[in-house]
């Protein structure tokens, strides 16, 4: 039985492990975290295309049980004017719209799927070295542990050590000019927003929120800021962040200031990076997936879904061909789409950054309703969502849509 060492238990790792296991591979997942952690419990968008991959793993329904279906995204100006609505899924098909879930829910569902399949998941295993021989690949971990397999799959995120092993000259992630922050809140009297997430182009920062039926508010802000020094954000307390956010959003329309007034729990800040055009996705017996080779900023709500698409595509390729041909085919199938999504998210970031003059902001707010007028039925973004990769049928590997 061929054996795959999988580095990373975020999104791509447990997904590719389950697909490979189902086609007869012996797989093992290693993660640097000391124990199962879920990135502070923030939330993310799992798009229609990512849900389709979870369906192939039999995990979609479980994820949806605690999701906020959000097929509509409604945009507001800093003065409270409704700018328009954009589908968060295929246009005119809200039943197939995307869903917002707590990040820990997605990780838990994927991890539980792997555990139920009997796939070993080892925490506290930080990859520090990769060595290839003629017949195998050997991974060394910080605690001295060594593992050997036929291939190594790096699902180790945007800071991927695997990417650098594959190509020491690989490009580095690029800072977007935005820092993401977010959390939860409860605001008395604030009505639930079924099927909808709202976005506000605030006077000094971008804001997004939704209200679940039980009244819990999920919110985030993207503030425009120079690239922070590495690690510098860890020293900023939740109270300091909240004070800054309350000031930045004090002139924004209801319910933005009210949500920030009632924010609960820890506030964490994430400088937002992306990564595009990594020339080599594999070398010898080593290949990389997900953010490791094409991190996209959260603005497209597609990072996790692309990682899931990579997982099913790579497993399909490995089922049909020896690893070297499979790796090349996987990159050929995935790279154009992944890079198109990163580019699309960059265009959204440009709208979120508050670098425009007052006049620029006024022009944006005047033009946006015109662009958005027909957006609710605009099929131009369907390429993002209608990308379905069949798992059952290797011959049908090429995506539709």
Ligand X SMILES: Cc1cc2nc3c(=O)[nH]c(=O)nc-3n(C[C@H](O)[C@H](O)[C@H](O)COP(=O)(O)OP(=O)(O)OC[C@H]3O[C@@H](n4cnc5c(N)ncnc54)[C@H](O)[C@@H]3O)c2cc1C
Q: What are the CA-CA distances from residue 293 to residues 155, 156, 339 (Å)? A: 9, 10, 10
Q: Does residue 33 interact with ligand X by CB under 6 A?
A: yes
Q: Is 290 in the site for ligand X (CB under 6 A)?
A: yes
Give the C-alpha distances (Å, rounded to integers) separating 101 from 67, 212, 262, 310.
Answer: 5, 11, 21, 20
Q: Which of 45, 72, 196, 276 touches ligand X by CB under 6 A?
A: 45
Minimum distance, C-beta of residue 12 to ligand X, in the bound complex (Å): 4
Query: Which residues make beta-bridge pairs with 207?
Result: 200, 221
Listed in sequence order, the residues at least 6 apart from 67 whose beta carbon sits closer than 8 Å to its beta carbon are 46, 99, 100, 101, 105
Contact string 119-158 vs ligand X (x = CB under 6 A): ------xxx---------------------------xxx-
In the bound state with ligand X, the residue whose beta carbon lies nearer, of 7 and 354, is 7
C-alpha distances in angstroms, 159 versus 87, 212, 291, 314, 324?
Answer: 31, 33, 8, 21, 24
278 binds ligand X (CB under 6 A): no
Is 291 a binding residue for ligand X by CB under 6 A? The answer is yes
| Segment interacting with ligand X, rule: CB under 6 A, options 28-36, 191-199, 255-263, 322-330 | 28-36
Applying CB under 6 A, does 298 fall inside the site for ligand X?
yes
Determine which residue in the list 6, 31, 70, 205 makes contact with ligand X, applying CB under 6 A: 31
Distance of CA 384 to the CA centre of its chain: 14
The one among 5, 12, 83, 211 contacting ligand X by CB under 6 A: 12
Q: Does the protein bind ligand X through residue 304 (CB under 6 A)?
A: yes
Let me know how long the chain is. 401
Q: Tell me how far apart the alpha carbons of residues 294 and 281 are, in angstroms, rounded to a whole number.
A: 10
Distance (Å, whole) CA 299 – CA 53: 21
Asked if 71 is part of the footprint of ligand X (rule: CB under 6 A), the reply reads no
Q: How far is the CB of 242 from ligand X (least distance, A)?
A: 17
Residues in 326-385 that interact with ligand X by CB under 6 A? none
Which CB atom, from 42 or from 259, has the smaller least distance to ligand X? 42
* Prior bond of 398 cis (ω within 30°): no
Q: Tell me the closest approach of the beta carbon of residue 303 to ligand X, in angstroms.
A: 2
Q: How far apart are CA 47 and CA 57, in angstroms?
A: 16
Q: Give the shortest CB-161-to-ligand X separation in angstroms.
A: 5
Q: Pick the piece of the chain touching ligand X (CB under 6 A) from 30-38, 193-201, 327-335, 348-356.
A: 30-38
Q: Give CB contacts under 8 A, 24+ apart, made by 353-360.
A: 353/177, 353/178, 353/224, 354/202, 354/203, 354/204, 354/205, 354/206, 354/224, 355/177, 355/224
Residue of 270, 283, 344, 371 that binds ligand X (CB under 6 A): 270
CB of 366 to ligand X, least distance (A): 29
- The Cα 347–Cα 292 span in angstroms is 21
Binding site for ligand X (CB under 6 A): 7-13, 30-33, 44-45, 125-127, 155-157, 161, 180, 270, 290-292, 298, 301-305, 307
């Amino acid at each position: 039985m061929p054996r795959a060492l999988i580095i990373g238990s975020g999104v791509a790792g447990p997904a590719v492990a389950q697909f490979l296991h189902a086609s007869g591979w012996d797989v093992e997942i290693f993660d640097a975290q000391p124990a199962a952690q879920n990135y502070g419990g923030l939330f993310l968008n799992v798009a229609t295309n990512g849900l389709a991959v979870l369906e192939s793993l039999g995990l979609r329904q479980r994820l949806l049980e605690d999701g906020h279906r959000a097929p509509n995204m409604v945009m507001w100006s800093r003065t409270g004017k409704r700018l328009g609505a954009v589908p968060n899924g295929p246009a005119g098909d809200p039943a197939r719209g995307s869903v917002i879930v707590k990040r820990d829910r997605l990780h838990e569902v994927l991890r539980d799927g792997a555990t139920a399949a009997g796939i070993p998941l080892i925490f506290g295993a930080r990859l520090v070295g990769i060595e290839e021989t003629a017949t195998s690949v050997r991974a060394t971990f910080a605690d001295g542990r060594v593992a050997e397999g036929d291939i190594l799959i790096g699902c180790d995120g945007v800071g991927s050590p695997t990417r650098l092993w594959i190509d020491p000259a690989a490009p580095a992630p690029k800072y977007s000019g935005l820092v993401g922050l977010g959390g939860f809140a409860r605001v008395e009297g604030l009505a639930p927003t079924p099927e909808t997430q709202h976005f506000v182009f605030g006077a000094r920062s971008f804001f997004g929120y939704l209200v679940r039926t039980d009244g819990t508010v999920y919110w985030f802000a993207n503030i425009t800021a120079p690239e922070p020094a590495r690690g510098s954000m860890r020293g900023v307390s939740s109270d300091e962040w909240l004070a800054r956010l309350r000031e930045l959003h004090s002139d924004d329309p209801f319910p933005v200031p009210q949500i920030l007034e009632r924010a609960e729990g820890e506030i964490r800040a994430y400088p937002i990076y992306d990564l595009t055009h990594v020339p080599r996705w594999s070398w010898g017996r080593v290949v990389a997936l997900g953010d490791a080779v094409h991190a996209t900023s959260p603005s497209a709500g597609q990072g996790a879904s692309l990682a899931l698409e990579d997982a099913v595509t790579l497993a399909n390729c490995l089922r049909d061909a020896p690893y070297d041909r499979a790796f090349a085919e996987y990159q050929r199938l995935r790279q154009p789409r992944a890079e198109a999504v990163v580019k699309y998210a960059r265009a959204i970031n440009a709208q979120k950054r508050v670098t425009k003059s007052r006049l620029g902001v006024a022009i944006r707010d005047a033009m946006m309703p015109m662009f958005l007028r027909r957006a609710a039925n605009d099929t131009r973004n369907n390429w993002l969502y209608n990308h379905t990769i069949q798992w059952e049928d290797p011959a049908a590997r090429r995506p539709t849509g």
